[in-house]
Structure 1
Amino acid sequence: MDFKGKTVLITGGASGIGKIMARKSLERGVRCLVIWDRNEEGLALLKNEFSGFGIQVIAFTVDVMNVDEVRITAQKTRTEAGKIDILINNAGIVVGKYFHEHSHDDISKSMLVNANAPMHICLEFLPEMMKTDCGSVCNIASSAGLISNPKMAVYAASKWAVTGWSDSLRLEMEQLGKRVSVTTIMPFFINTGMFDGVKSKLLPILEPESTAERIIKAIESERKMLAMPLPYWFIRLSQGILPLPAFDWVMDHVFGIYDTMAEFRGRK
């Protein structure tokens, strides 16, 4: 999917990797860029910063946990920007603690933002993509959607949900013969502040700029899945051929994944 001349919607686009993907979309010559975020101040700063591109940037303050807000904002988006050609579901939150330390509110918010919101948002824009037989949906999941991890139980649950839904959606579009590409992204920790305090024994913490570029290129090439830095096939193969105790030992003692959240602080 070529970004040039297209209308792109990015959720959680006022900061972090979402903002970088927004800039890269503008650099590729999109017709219109739409940003959804709950940070009103961040949206205002973004619009001012990107004004020099001479491309229409539309920003909406929206709480994606609220389905009514999603539906209302989607209608405003269609009115002001027209058909969305490329949807990037990027908004996400993390609560990094043991499951028994979560509140019911922690669980609800994590599932609403990370798992439910991408589905509700996609449901608003997918029918028009199917009608015109053209479009692209990119869902930012996580490597936590492939590998379980202590202090990430609810986050992992939400990302496993996104991974399963996103790839099922891809298969549905293929089965229906629709030219709507669906790309599922499963990155390791990205150095944006969201996961401040995480430690990695072997795998590198991903840099935002290069990670955003890889995601944009994955959309352009209509790639089905992208996991970083370990390819998803390696993880799936390891899970399939190794007994669970052996897999746990490799993830824990070789890659050090099970201790990554030990000193997690998160974004203040």
Structure 2
Amino acid sequence: MTDLFGKTVLITGGAAGIGKIMARLLLERGANVVIWDIDAVKIDETITEFAKKGNIYGYQIDVSNIQKIEDTAKQVKADVAKVDVLINNAGIVVGKFFHEHSTKDITKTMTINAEAPMHVTKAFIGDMIEQNSGHICNIASSGGLISNPKMSVYAASKWSVIGWSDTLRIEMNQLQKNIKVTTVMPYYINTGMFDGVKSKIPILDPEAAALTIVRAIEKNQKMLTILGYIYRLTRLGQAIMPVSVFDWFAGKLLGIYKTMEHFKGHQK
């Protein structure tokens, strides 16, 4: 078990959605919480809202900027403490057919979703290795497990996170380091990021999803899907079904291939 009391926990994308909810849950567990977010206004609002719950700190940062990651990580260590638990939560989605993506769409999605978690982790994992303790939680997506129209680049970025994250877990185990890694692969969460999505499979409640993730960290869970039997059925189907049969199963029976047809996302 990972006791979060007194630990310094950093959450990227921590001023909105499940990141903000996790910040509150961690404060309630006695953790010192550091939130990174691109939106300075939301950071201030979150700190004001949660100030009475415990120690919370905020830093405005664009995690697509590697130099900014390195500089802000140093500032956190100077201002607060070394990070004990890192939650890589920041992410974006562009809901278009692949040929409709601009070069900027592709680059930005891959940079924020796939590369940033690696660079953020690189900025803190050295301290974890030195003190031989730590926990890294990477929020991927069920989109990193199942191909889905209008999610090609998003899916690619999340497939990347899953492969990197679980490999990191195995590496820490091989090196006999007491650093736990949890890879989270949630279904759609009702935070606004996927507004317009229509699904036969229930869309996740953000409060429940955030709580499940925090508990997974506490339990040192290696992988988390928050989909239960549907996840197991899907993975079994991928293993034993011919591609055409799995397309029928996922596309027609579960309706997954149609979920993004009416996607709107966050409305500016």
TM-score, with structure 1 as normaliser = 0.97
Aligned position for 1:44: 44
Structure 2 distance, partners of 1:78, 1:236, is 41
- 8 Å CA contact 1:143–1:228 kept in 2: the answer is no
Contact 1:145–1:159 at 8 Å: present in 2 too? yes
Amino acid at match of 2:7: K
User: Given the alignment of the two structures, is residue 19 of structure 1 paired with residue 9 of structure 2, yes or no?
Assistant: no
Q: Distance in 2 between matches of 1:10 and 1:16?
A: 12
**Number of residues paired by the alignment?**
265
Residue 237 of structure 1 and its aligned partner are, at CA, apart by 2.3
Q: 1:163 to 1:100 in 2, by over 3 A?
A: same
User: In 2, are the aligned partners of 1:86 and 1:135 still within 8 Å (CA)?
Assistant: yes
Tell me the equivalent position of 1:3. 4
Q: How does 1:85-164 map to 2 (within 5 A)?
A: 85-164=84-163
Q: CA deviation at 1:228?
A: 2.1
- Report the CA distance between 1:57 and its aligned residue: 1.1
Q: 1:214 aligns with which of 212, 215, 223?
A: 212
In the alignment, the residues of structure 1 paired with residue 119 and residue 194 of structure 2 have an alpha-carbon distance, to the nearest angstrom, of 26
| Aligned match of 1:244 | 243
Q: More deviation in 229-238 or 94-103?
A: 229-238
Residue identity in the other structure for 2:28: E
The aligned amino acid for 2:222 is K
Moved over 6 A (4+): none
Q: Does 1:258 align with 2:257?
A: yes
Which residue identity lines up with residue 138 of structure 2 in the other structure? N
CA distance in 2, matches of 1:159, 1:45: 29
Deviation of 1:18 after TM superposition, in Å, equals 0.3
Further displaced range: 234-243 or 84-93: 234-243
Measure how far apart 1:251 and its partner are: 0.2
1:236 to partner: Cα distance? 2.6
CA distance in 2, matches of 1:137, 1:66: 20
The one-letter code matched in structure 1 to 2:56 is: V
1:230 shift after superposition: 4.1
Q: Percent identity?
A: 54
Residue matched to 2:178: 179
Any conservation in 2 of the 1:88–1:140 contact (CA below 8 Å)? yes
Is 1:84 aligned to residue 83 of structure 2? Answer: yes
| Pairwise CA RMSD | 0.9
How far apart are residue 233 of structure 1 and its match?
4.4
Separation in 1, partners of 2:228, 2:216: 16
Please list every run of 5 or more consecutive structure 2 residues that lacks an aligned counterpart in the other structure. Answer: none
Residue 10 of structure 2 aligns to a residue whose secondary structure is: strand
